[in-house]
A and B are shown apart, each in its own frame.
Chain A
């Protein structure tokens, strides 16, 4: 396993359409995170899973956004009725929280453009 993977890498959609992104974490990692990064800014936290349980959601995550991690493996992030303001890079990260390990490892991201 070489790292976190995300699909698709790029997505162009029209306003009002639904989109779904997928993240495959590093296989032994029990934690999975979604972040959003807009141009010229640092990533902002969206949500976090410990195994299959979604334990934290940011206020940035409106009710048009939903994330799942069935069976504690891959995760999907769905955006319903997309708006132009949703255009951003969506980053997935995973980590294995131990006494000595804290780092989150990021995937390449999915760049969403809403026209």
Chain B
């Protein structure tokens, strides 16, 4: 069965500091997809990034970057130079190729509070 663990429940930083969110996953599927979603106070889940299991290249997109390490089953996410608008709950999610409809399994979320 697939499982996602986000050990950090809450992180508080001062604006312009970097924030790294940890995510560890479990799956028996050889092909899977990992995602990060943001849920601001308004409540709507916003898709941020996706990584495929067969592509371990780490990338940077604007102020977001991610570190995918298959050997440790981790998919960490970093916000560089945080801003107050980054305050939200961030969810890591896993989708297995074999799962019907590629349904998502979410972690428990990490609340990020960016103080001015």
- A interface, CB within 8 angstroms of B: 31, 33, 35, 40-45, 48, 50, 55-56, 89, 91, 93, 95, 97, 102-109, 111
Size class of the contact patch on chain B: 20 to 34
Stretch in B14-22, B68-76, B79-87, B102-110 with 4+ CB within 8 Å of A = B102-110
Query: Which B residues are in CB contact (< 8 Å) with A31?
Result: 101
Tally of A-B residue pairs with Cβ under 8 A? 62
Which A residues touch B91, using CB under 8 A? Answer: 42-43
Give A109 to B37 CA distance when docked, in angstroms: 15
Please give, as numbers and ranges, the residues of chain B lying within 8 Å of A106 by CB-CB distance.
37, 44-47
Say if the beta carbon of B60 comes within 8 Å of chain A.
no
Known: A42-B91, A55-B100, A97-B102. A103 touches B107 (CB 8 A): no
B43-A45 in contact (CB<8A): no
User: How far in angstroms is the closest Cβ of chain B from A7?
Assistant: 14
B residues within 8 Å of A by Cβ? 4, 33, 35, 37, 42-47, 50, 52, 91, 93, 95, 100-109
Given A56-B101, A106-B45, 7 more A-B residue pairs with CB atoms under 8 Å apart are A33-B104, A40-B109, A43-B106, A45-B105, A56-B100, A97-B102, A106-B46
Least Cβ distance of A54 to chain B in Å?
10
Q: Is the interface of A mostly helix, strand, loop or mixed?
A: strand
A30 CB to nearest B CB, Å:
10
User: Is A105 a contact partner of B47 (Cβ separation < 8 A)?
Assistant: yes
